[in-house]
């Protein structure tokens, strides 16, 4: 039976066009995207659930979710909570996705706060960054749970047997950082079941030296968007230089295969979005500026999470964090 992925067709900067195109591209014998959108939307053969409202990017998340139960975002998330879909994908309001998920999907037992896990394509291998934007303010015990969730994610989704964990800070030394990182460092260093290897600096995120990097959502989101912007700027600058002269164009022909491989590996659209871990259902949050390629990959990513039984694996292996987080 195909994995049913609820798709918020009106979420994102380029909705519904890019969302629809991405859903169509992702559809296969094993993946069945279900669109939540306006009744007049042409679903191009996909299943369409007609909704009467939408939540815009600028709206206050919790208020919008409560005031607009018939919005595409809320209905798509509720489909997972009600068991009518196996996973949900939205490029819409991140805060509203979090609020709707807490309301309709709910947290796993013992989880203090869900965290967004993003896969960063490192030079030596992928790195899981968590939290990448769900919690602007966090406590040390939240970061401890993020480390446990990121470890399970790396093991189950990236096939890393014994993931290393580092804490994102302004220096590698244990005494570097603000009070949150200092307190979180102490918890992580004492935690059972984690291979904690100390602090990591932002400049090493693309090296792939760490399997899991933990931080609060504010720091993680700034780091992620800085990386993505830098990657896009560098790749675009390279393209401009190649096109600027005959010599550059000739050289470009020689490096084209390598350049395409580099772009494919580093382009954020390749991964499509991040998992909101710590919930009783599978939720994927895509970038607001997602293209159809990113949406298609986000839908495929959601289906892989269902296939790997990621939620069930987290439920089985996270209870040990309850005692630690209560101390």
Q: What is the CATH number of the domain that holds 69?
A: 3.40.718.10
Higher pLDDT, 231 or 109: 109
Q: Report the domain count for the chain.
A: 2
Domain assignment present for residue 156? The answer is: yes
What is the span of the domain harbouring residue 294?
1-111+278-308
Same domain, 160 and 217: yes
Shared domain for 153 and 256, answered yes or no, is: yes
Q: Which residue has the higher pLDDT, 272 or 149?
A: 149
Do the domain assignments include residue 319?
no
The answer on 125 and 252 residing in a single domain is yes
Domain contains 318: no
Do 77 and 16 lie in a common domain? yes
**In this structure, is residue 72 part of a structural domain?**
yes
Whether 119 is covered by a domain: the verdict is yes
Report which of residues 239 and 132 the model is more confident about.
132
> Which band of pLDDT confidence, cut at 50, 70 and 90, is reported for residue 323?
very low
- Asked if residue 64 belongs to a domain, the reply is yes
317: which residues sit within 8 A by CB, 6+ positions away?
148, 152
Do 300 and 166 lie in one domain? The reply is no
Residue 320, pLDDT above cutoff 70: no
- Residue 4 domain-assigned (yes or no): yes
Residues 3 and 42 in one domain: yes
Is residue 40 located within the same domain as residue 107?
A: yes
pTM score, whole prediction:
0.89
Q: How confident is the model at residue 196 (pLDDT cuts 50, 70, 90)?
A: very high
Tell me, yes or no, whether 50 and 171 share the same domain: no
Tell whether 65 is covered by a domain.
yes
Rounded to whole angstroms, the Cα distance separating 311 from 4 reads 16
Q: How confident is the model at residue 237 (pLDDT cuts 50, 70, 90)?
A: confident
**pLDDT exceeds cutoff 90 at 296:** yes
pLDDT digits (tens, 9 = 90+) for 55-112: 999 999 999 999 999 999 999 999 999 999 999 999 999 999 999 999 999 999 999 9
Mean of per-residue pLDDT scores for the chain? 90
């Amino acid at each position: 039976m195909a994995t049913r992925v609820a798709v918020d067709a009106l979420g994102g900067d380029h909705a519904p066009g890019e969302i629809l195109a991405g859903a169509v591209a992702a559809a296969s014998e094993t993946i069945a995207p279900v669109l939540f959108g306006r009744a007049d939307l042409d679903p191009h053969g996909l299943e369409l659930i007609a909704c009467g409202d939408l939540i815009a990017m600028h709206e206050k998340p919790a208020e919008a979710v409560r005031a607009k139960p018939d919005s595409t975002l809320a209905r798509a998330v509720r489909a997972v909570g009600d068991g009518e879909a196996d996973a949900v994908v939205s490029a819409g309001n991140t805060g509203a996705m979090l609020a709707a998920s807490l309301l309709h999907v709910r947290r796993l037992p013992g989880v203090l706060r869900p965290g967004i896990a993003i896969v960063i394509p490192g030079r030596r291998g992928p790195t899981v960054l968590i939290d990448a934007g769900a919690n602007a303010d966090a406590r040390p015990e939240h970061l401890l749970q993020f480390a446990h969730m990121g470890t399970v994610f790396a093991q189950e989704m990236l096939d890393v047997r014994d993931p290393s964990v580092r804490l994102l800070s302004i220096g590698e030394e244990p005494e570097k950082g603000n009070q949150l990182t200092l307190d979180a460092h102490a918890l992580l260093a004492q935690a059972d079941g984690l291979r904690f290897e100390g602090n990591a600096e932002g400049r090493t995120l693309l090296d792939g030296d760490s399997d899991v990097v933990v931080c609060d959502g504010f720091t993680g989101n700034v780091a992620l968007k800085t990386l993505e912007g830098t990657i896009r700027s560098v790749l675009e600058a390279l393209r401009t230089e190649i096109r600027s002269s005959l010599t550059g164009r000739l050289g470009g022909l020689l490096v084209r295969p390598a350049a395409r491989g580099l772009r494919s590996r580093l382009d954020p659209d390749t991964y499509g979005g991040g998992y909101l871990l710590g919930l009783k259902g599978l939720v994927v949050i895509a970038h607001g500026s997602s293209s159809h390629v990113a949406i298609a990959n986000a839908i495929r990513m959601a289906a892989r999470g269902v296939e790997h039984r990621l939620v069930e694996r987290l439920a089985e292996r996270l209870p040990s964090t309850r005692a630690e987080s209560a101390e």
